[in-house]
Amino acid sequence: NYRFRSIVPSGYGCPPTGPTQQLLDQLGRHGQRPAHIHFFISAPGHRHLTTQINLSDDPYLH
């Protein structure tokens, strides 16, 4: 058995003055994350898995 619940998410960016954005600026890259959905999967006796899927129509995906 499994359950799934979600909303349509939006993308988000790195904090504009943080160290991650500073590194991305030096590399000539933007700091936007595409819209995505995280999945947290667990079962007794197995390791916990965290993964994600990106929404195909997000402009920052490609």
Q: How far apart, in whole angstroms, are the C-alpha atoms of residue 23 and residue 26? A: 5
Distance (Å, rounded) from C-alpha 43 to C-alpha 50?
12
Q: What's the pLDDT at 2?
A: 78
pTM of the model: 0.64
pLDDT in tens, 1-56: 878 787 888 899 999 999 999 999 999 999 999 999 888 999 999 999 999 999 99
pLDDT score at 6: 78
pLDDT at 4: 78
Res 10: pLDDT: 87
